[in-house]
Structure 1
Amino acid sequence: MKTVKFKLISALLLLIIAFSLTNCIISKDDKKEYDQLKARCELESQNKSTVRQVFEAINARDFEKMRTFYAPEYKMTGPRLPNAYTIDSLIQYIQRDIAVFPDWKYSVENMVAQGDTVAVKIAQFGVQANDYMGIKPKANQISRAAIFITVFSNGKLKETWILQDNLGFMEQIGMQLTVKPEDKTKGKR
């Protein structure tokens, strides 16, 4: 009787193990889908790391290192940019800001990636030390929030769309913002 029970229990255990192993076997389609998902996750992680390294290079004032992360055809656009920035004009823009705000830093607040696109929420901050558009420094901390949406190509930043809180920035440095006078000639024929 004991040997029959032992044989039944052994057979049952073998069936459980065999059933478990068949569930662990991955089909070729599942493996392909897994590999694609893994590659996409690795790409998104690498792109987010690159964005973080760009801001670290800017904060370190290492513009040559910053330049290595950008594709030659790079363009930055946004609703308040009349002309797209190239990597050269972007570096010049950042250097102009640093001349006014020598301690200007970028802090990555949040990042989300999907495929070749990375969206970044940035906080920028520093103390105004020199005139900015004719406005004297007040030695107070200035901050500006920004959203960057960046598209990658072959591991390099190819395109960025930016939206910054320039109104809040201008108010903090002391610009007097006024309403434009109404143009009485508009709408008349």
Structure 2
Amino acid sequence: MDHAATMRSTYELINAGDLDRFGDLLAADFVEHQGGPGYPPTREGTLDFFRNLLAAFPDWHMAVQDMIASGDKTVARVRVSGTQSGEFIGIPATGASADVELIDIMRFDPAGLVCEHWGVADMLSLMQQLGVVPAGAST
């Protein structure tokens, strides 16, 4: 199975706003280890998170920069961008654009579905770009 192609498809489907087909790539017993605040670490919780994320950032785009696959896991470095035009994790719409990097790790079950996800996003940079947290002094 080509886990890298499946992982790439998850980003393409999210970019297209096709969360039903994105959800089809997640195992029924999917576990989210990163998760958004207030969302259960399940398949449905993850879909709800992305529904709310895309409502807040309708132009959200995920671009794969690097990808490494080994065994049942695939790792990607991804650049995400979008403009916040709706509420996001309790933050009212700012109209600000953001561009940040994240690292994702997905584990696949024997059927080729994503069964676990771990991720690290540059949330400080995101909050600074949205104007919620002041940017540090330049050096």
TM-score (norm 1): 0.64
Q: Going by fraction, where is helix more abundant, 1 or 2?
A: 1
Structure 1, gaps ≥5 residues long: 1-42, 178-189
**Bigger relative CO (Cα 8 Å, ≥ 6 apart):** 2
Taking the aligned partners of 1:51 and 1:145, their CA distance within structure 2 comes to 16
Percentage of matched positions with identical amino acids = 24
Question: Match of 1:141, as an amino acid?
Answer: S
Bigger Rg, structure 1 or 2: 1
Question: Match of 2:6, as an amino acid?
Answer: T
Aligned equivalent of 2:17, options 43, 51, 61 = 61
What is the CA-CA distance between 1:128 and the residue it aligns to? 1.4
Taking the aligned partners of 2:67 and 2:49, their CA distance within structure 1 comes to 23
Taking the aligned partners of 1:101 and 1:80, their CA distance within structure 2 comes to 15
Taking the aligned partners of 2:35 and 2:8, their CA distance within structure 1 comes to 24
Question: Match of 1:102, as an amino acid?
Answer: P
TM-score (norm 2): 0.85
Could you say which residue in structure 2 is the equivalent of 1:167?
124
Taking the aligned partners of 1:74 and 1:98, their CA distance within structure 2 comes to 21
Taking the aligned partners of 1:135 and 1:100, their CA distance within structure 2 comes to 9
Change (3 A) 1:174 1:50: same
Change (3 A) 1:67 1:143: same
What is the CA-CA distance between 1:145 and the residue it aligns to? 1.2
Q: Going by fraction, where is strand more abundant, 1 or 2?
A: 2
What is the CA-CA distance between 1:176 and the residue it aligns to? 3.2
Change (3 A) 1:151 1:102: same
Give aligned pairs, total: 132
